[in-house]
Structure 1
Amino acid sequence: MPLTAKRPSRWSWRTLLPWGVGVLPLLCGLAVMRWQTEQELQANSRATAKEVARHIEDILDSLDAAAHRLLPKAGQPCDQVQLELRIELTRNAFVRSTNLFDHHRLYCTSLYGDFDEPVKASDYTSGQLWLMNGNSVTPGQALLAYRVNQPEHNDRGAITTVDGRHLLTALRLIGAGNLVKLHVGNHWMGSDGQVHDGDPPTAAIAAIQYASTRYPFHVHTGYSEGKRAALMRSRYPALLSLLLMLGVVAGAACRWQIRRASSSRNELDRALDADEFVPYFQPVVRKGDYRWAGVEVLMRWQHPREGLVRPDLFIPYAEHSGQIVAMTRSLMLHTAQALAPHAALLEDGFHIGVNITADHCRDLGLLDDCQTFLQHFPPGRVVLTLELTERKLIEPTPITLELFEKLHAMGVMIALDDFGTGQSSLNYLRQFNVDYLKIDQSFVAMIGGDALSLHILDTIIELSGKLALGIVAEGVETEVQRDYLARHGVDFQQGYLFARPMPANELLLALAARPGSSQLPQGSTPEIMRG
């Protein structure tokens, strides 16, 4: 139950922290999986580049072998060597055409025989490879030309070509799922089979550039942006589910721990350790002269952030949790420490009432608390009155009966608080030795109004007289109520008409300001208050 009237901020750290803790395992797991996936993609991309390069090197080895076999024929008449050119085509499945050039002129081809076309060494990367976007026979279809020249004649040699479809097979099959590109000089070809000018674009993920050590070409590999996420979804669905579950469990555990740490029980324990429960005093006046005959000690919570907390926000929970015993013990100690140094301001027999519940009656520890309280005052100066509340039923066990008997022997009086409203008030009269009845303020409020409530009030007053019990009326707020109770012989009255609950320093000032009082609390000035 809430202990303060204020609600926590909707977006306070207590609200956000469980979400953060819940998301943390998922984020950490995703980061690890992302890193592992990146490493895997890098390894796959590097392996693909090497494999594609090896396959293209094998193709170029075939072209190189054919070219070197034809190299001695360069410079010879075309009609004498054309058959040799065509024989090389049948020997090697990768070779599409064979050609001879002399004086930088292509003069003989396996397809046309005699031919005349200039050959520029500058078109070939390192004088060896030229990735072409087709030729006069197959325009727009990729070709890779391999050129060698005779050692003694730079302008004479052989040229062999491979169809781009063989290269495309390597790019598509070996590099399936990968963005593979063959880069030769200022030209490159991708899996679309088209030759493009310039440098190939860099892949978004796991970009690898592998250079052949035997021929002047590069293989570029990598993956598109969505590949990493797709691989993580396909590779780690169970792990993602586990991380999500761990996140939920971690968040729930964090929320439970925060709620536990900030629970009512823990907050009350913290406040008790910090001495935040302070006594407030409401005077009780006697009939006749209406002088203060005593006070009821009321517990207030001086919260460091919320200020003074109303008792109805924490007393019921403290009674429910059993913490009220320790809180009452602390309250009695603070009361004694506040009033005992100024005991001269109190008349002999000054009543000090403290509320107790069923939890106080389960063992004899209350005897020590009362004994400690009374030892602070001169003998006979104060009369301690324990007021039994009925929010929890007090069982007439042997320990309870022994407790009340020893309390009476000690001079402690017992009062029934809010008499007439609980279900066990009459049972308490029969089972326990009670000294006072406190009439609930709901009956006092009906004075001058509801006739039935007045009859009940009169009956309670009459009952107390027959049982020789003292009687205290609570909640007196008007003079009509005061005079009615006085006419009917009520011994003591308590309420806002006489004084509101006040802290110890105000009580001491009021006591010191009474006629006949000569002592003031140290460092205080008198303040006239009713009573």
Structure 2
Amino acid sequence: MPLTVNGTRKRANRYLITALSGLLPIALGVVILYWQAERTLQQSTAQTAREAVRQFDLMLDNTALAAQALLPLAGQPCDNGAQLALREQVTRRPFVRATTLSWQKHIYCSSLFGGDYQSPVNPDDYVDGTLWLMNGNPVTPDTALLVYRLVDGDKGAFASIDGYHLTNALRLISRYADLILQVGPGWLDADGRVRNTAVPEFAVAHQHLASERYHYSVDAGMPAGEVWRFMEARYPALFSLLVFFGVLAGVLAHWLQKRSSAPTHELQRALGANEFIAYFQPVVRGDTLAWAGCEVLMRWQHPKEGLVRPDLFIPLAEHSGLIVPMTRALLRQTATQLAPHAGRFNPGFHIGVNITALHCQDLDLVDDCREFLAAFVPGQVTLVLELTERELIKPTDITRRLFDALHQLGVMIAIDDFGTGHSSLGYLRNFNVDYLKIDQSFVAMIGADALSRHILDSIIELSGKLDLGVVAEGVETAEQCEYLAAHGVDFLQGYLFGKPLPCDEFIKSLTSH
């Protein structure tokens, strides 16, 4: 129901809400999956770092055992017995690639050479005098070695781990995480090269773990974008489910918006919120132009759209059946507003209220009118029910009983917009009515269209023969007023005498007249 020209904007808002409702569960699901993936990768790299430390500790345990076994030989001649002992440790100990002996900070015997070998030892190369990650030796240059040094006074024993074992461990411990072994300023990754630059920082799930037994540490982590790659590889089914629920949420939101914004539901909401208010348009006597009553007109004070014209919601209210409770609420509101000021009314002050065919299907209208009249001193006001002709009122037993009961209450019946509906003459024949209200289209033709003026004269003449009162609607000019008064029209209504006003303004105007 387009209440105003803002309908297009509201439709755009509905589509926006639908889109957001569909995207929100998808976005929320992606955030949750991303958090879960990130947490999984954190756990994975932490486990990888722990496993790496365990493996390197195991390797260094073997080098430590080899060095401990060889340390008593340090300082003795590098003869066949010493050579055999050095090579035996290489053979017996896993991961041990070479063993050497030193005396007074000079290496003099090695398993890699068949005789004496002289090379100075710089203790500063070793972290805490124990470990040195070196980039090769004279036999295998540019190949990483992890050297373990054990010293007792002038004696020294060395056992080294080949870079092949180190890089294999770095590659195989984890399929996803990258690993780095750091000893002092040097570090080694899976490509086998020893570097002395700053250790790189991993973008995803970085873990740093130091050994509790030896002076080295490992770093584990993943490159940027790994979380999304992990999600793409592990969660394709969940992504499909998220899209499904997102579409479902969007469709549901769109349906709920259409349902909640449907005209009938909006009218029900407005009725519950008391947004339908009474406006009053004066009705004057044709001879004296004194205020004789008013017609109560329903207006909708919408919280966003402002004051809504009745032609935008009254037909829908009639079609949906809500016009009955809306009219009941209007009668109660009118009684509440006018009763405190009824002392200013002339006796028999007419108060006109529109009813439709729906009001005539049972006798509840009688109770509504009785409740309305009970708010006033008897004889103070006359309630006039105006029958609209948008829907045909059938002359059934119920309608006849209804109109009889209304007349017994002192309620009068008027036919609204007489002369424009197909049922006007039928109403005169079937129902006991009291007034005819001439439609404003005939009044507007006074002085302009001869045919319409003749129809107007015929209606006035007919009402006189049937002893019915006549009310002319839509009087806007002095010429129309004079013509109608000259032809004996009982009551006049129109902008010439006053526009529909809210209660406070209507009472002020009534007082001034």
Q: Given the two structures, how large is their TM-score scaled by the length of structure 1?
A: 0.81
Measured after TM superposition, the shift of residue 189 of structure 1 is 0.6
Which residue of structure 2 aligns with residue 102 of structure 1? Answer: 103
| TM-aligned CA distance change 1:84 to 1:306, over 3 Å | closer
Distance across 2 between alignment mates of 1:237 and 1:303: 48
Distance across 2 between alignment mates of 1:210 and 1:278: 75
Q: Kindly provide the amino acid, as one letter, of the partner of residue 143 in structure 1.
A: L
Measured after TM superposition, the shift of residue 257 of structure 1 is 5.9
Distance across 1 between alignment mates of 2:278 and 2:48: 82
Question: What are the equivalent positions in structure 2 for 1:73-112 lying under 5 Å apart?
Answer: 73-80=73-80, 81-82=82-83, 85-86=86-87, 89=90, 94-112=95-113
Check whether the contact 1:98–1:109 (CA below 8 A) recurs between aligned residues.
yes
Q: For structure 1, which runs of at least 5 residues remain unmatched after alignment?
A: 513-526
Check whether the contact 1:183–1:199 (CA below 8 A) recurs between aligned residues.
no
Q: Kindly provide the amino acid, as one letter, of the partner of residue 138 in structure 1.
A: T
State the Cα deviation string for residues 120-177 of structure 1 (Å, max 9, x = none). 233222333211012233332211222234x4xx333332333212211110111221
Which residue of structure 2 aligns with residue 333 of structure 1? Answer: 332
Measured after TM superposition, the shift of residue 412 of structure 1 is 2.2
| TM-aligned CA distance change 1:148 to 1:478, over 3 Å | same
Stretch deviating more after TM superposition (284-293 or 221-230): 284-293
Measured after TM superposition, the shift of residue 378 of structure 1 is 4.6
Which residue of structure 2 aligns with residue 520 of structure 1? Answer: none
Which residue of structure 2 aligns with residue 434 of structure 1? Answer: 433
Check whether the contact 1:385–1:415 (CA below 8 A) recurs between aligned residues.
yes
Measured after TM superposition, the shift of residue 510 of structure 1 is 4.8
Distance across 1 between alignment mates of 2:121 and 2:335: 115
Q: Kindly provide the amino acid, as one letter, of the partner of residue 99 in structure 2.
A: T
Which residue of structure 1 aligns with residue 57 of structure 2? Answer: 57
Measured after TM superposition, the shift of residue 365 of structure 1 is 1.1
Which residue of structure 1 aligns with residue 130 of structure 2? Answer: 128
Question: How many equivalent residue pairs?
Answer: 511
Check whether the contact 1:354–1:387 (CA below 8 A) recurs between aligned residues.
yes
| TM-aligned CA distance change 1:168 to 1:452, over 3 Å | farther
Distance across 1 between alignment mates of 2:337 and 2:177: 84
Do structure 1's residue 283 and structure 2's residue 264 form an aligned pair?
no
Stretch deviating more after TM superposition (248-257 or 90-99): 248-257
Distance across 2 between alignment mates of 1:165 and 1:274: 81
State the Cα deviation string for residues 68-123 of structure 1 (Å, max 9, x = none). 45444433443534455456555567443333322211223334433221012332
Do structure 1's residue 383 and structure 2's residue 382 form an aligned pair?
yes
Which residue of structure 1 aligns with residue 357 of structure 2? Answer: 358
Stretch deviating more after TM superposition (288-297 or 161-170): 288-297
Which residue of structure 2 aligns with residue 518 of structure 1? Answer: none
Identical columns (%):
56
**SS of residue paired to 2:154:** strand
Distance across 2 between alignment mates of 1:255 and 1:342: 49
Q: Kindly provide the amino acid, as one letter, of the partner of residue 149 in structure 2.
A: R
Check whether the contact 2:436–2:463 (CA below 8 A) recurs between aligned residues.
yes
Q: Kindly provide the amino acid, as one letter, of the partner of residue 60 in structure 2.
A: L
Measured after TM superposition, the shift of residue 403 of structure 1 is 0.9
Measured after TM superposition, the shift of residue 322 of structure 1 is 2.9
Distance across 2 between alignment mates of 1:59 and 1:455: 119
Stretch deviating more after TM superposition (334-343 or 415-424): 334-343
Q: Kindly provide the amino acid, as one letter, of the partner of residue 117 in structure 1.
A: S
**SS of residue paired to 1:43:** helix
State the Cα deviation string for residues 52-74 of structure 1 (Å, max 9, x = none). 23333343344344444544443
Which residue of structure 1 aligns with residue 321 of structure 2? Answer: 322
Distance across 1 between alignment mates of 2:55 and 2:506: 101
| TM-aligned CA distance change 1:357 to 1:70, over 3 Å | same
Check whether the contact 1:387–1:414 (CA below 8 A) recurs between aligned residues.
yes
| TM-aligned CA distance change 1:105 to 1:376, over 3 Å | closer
Check whether the contact 2:285–2:291 (CA below 8 A) recurs between aligned residues.
yes
Distance across 1 between alignment mates of 2:380 and 2:210: 104
| TM-aligned CA distance change 1:270 to 1:176, over 3 Å | closer
Check whether the contact 2:59–2:94 (CA below 8 A) recurs between aligned residues.
no
Measured after TM superposition, the shift of residue 248 of structure 1 is 5.2
Which residue of structure 2 aligns with residue 206 of structure 1? Answer: 205
Stretch deviating more after TM superposition (180-189 or 371-380): 371-380
| TM-aligned CA distance change 1:426 to 1:217, over 3 Å | same
Measured after TM superposition, the shift of residue 479 of structure 1 is 2.8
Q: Kindly provide the amino acid, as one letter, of the partner of residue 432 in structure 1.
A: F
Distance across 2 between alignment mates of 1:510 and 1:61: 107
Measured after TM superposition, the shift of residue 178 of structure 1 is 0.7
Q: Kindly provide the amino acid, as one letter, of the partner of residue 295 in structure 1.
A: C
| TM-aligned CA distance change 1:202 to 1:377, over 3 Å | closer
Distance across 1 between alignment mates of 2:311 and 2:198: 79
| TM-aligned CA distance change 1:45 to 1:273, over 3 Å | closer
Q: Kindly provide the amino acid, as one letter, of the partner of residue 323 in structure 1.
A: L
Check whether the contact 2:3–2:305 (CA below 8 A) recurs between aligned residues.
no
Which residue of structure 2 aligns with residue 296 of structure 1? Answer: 295
| TM-aligned CA distance change 1:294 to 1:168, over 3 Å | same
CA RMSD of aligned residues (A): 3.8
| TM-aligned CA distance change 1:307 to 1:70, over 3 Å | closer
Measured after TM superposition, the shift of residue 447 of structure 1 is 2.8
Which residue of structure 1 aligns with residue 413 of structure 2? Answer: 414
State the Cα deviation string for residues 307-362 of structure 1 (Å, max 9, x = none). 65433344334334433323322333343444445555444444321111122112
Measured after TM superposition, the shift of residue 221 of structure 1 is 1.5
**SS of residue paired to 1:126:** coil
